[in-house]
């Protein structure tokens, strides 16, 4: 019973990751907390999240906003793999665990897009 409750509560928290990311605009410590929690979850469950669990898509459903919301601009993305999601990951992909890169300031992509 407790195991089911833990999964439910964990699932709710993970489902809120995109909304919690928005709080990182105001308080960057929230992003660090999300990164720590997701890494700890992978360690505690002894495996990476599946693509289904993470809601992985091979493309981002979001236009550029505060950040570029694709796997290539996520803290967990490493050369077509992900630290927390299993399988081959496209840089153009997206999942519900997306978190901006450490040090990537909000709207920094605009400066790069217009040529610095």
CA dist., res. 109 & res. 86, Å (int): 27
Give the confidence band of 116 by pLDDT, cuts at 50, 70, 90.
low
Give the confidence band of 3 by pLDDT, cuts at 50, 70, 90.
very low
- Residue 11, pLDDT above cutoff 90: no
Q: Which of 51, 43, 49, 96 is nearest to 69 (CA)?
A: 96
pTM of the model: 0.80
- Residue 109, pLDDT above cutoff 70: yes
Q: 90, 12 in Cβ contact below 8 A?
A: no
2-113 CATH fold: High-Potential Iron-Sulfur Protein; Chain A (4.10.490)
Residues 56-66, mean pLDDT to the nearest whole number: 89
Instruction: State residue 17's pLDDT score.
Output: 64
CA dist., res. 48 & res. 38, Å (int): 10
């Amino acid at each position: 019973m407790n195991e089911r409750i833990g999964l439910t509560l964990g699932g709710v928290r993970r489902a809120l990751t995109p909304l919690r990311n928005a709080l990182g605009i105001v308080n960057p410590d929230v992003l660090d907390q999300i990164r720590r929690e997701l890494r700890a979850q992978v360690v505690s469950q002894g495996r990476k999240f599946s693509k289904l669990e993470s809601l992985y898509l091979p493309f981002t459903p979001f236009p550029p906003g505060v950040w570029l919301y694709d796997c290539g601009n996520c803290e967990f993305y490493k050369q077509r793999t992900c630290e927390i999601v299993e399988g081959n990951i496209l840089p153009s992909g997206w999942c519900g665990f997306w978190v901006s890169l450490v040090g990537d300031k909000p709207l920094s992509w605009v400066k790069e897009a217009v040529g610095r």
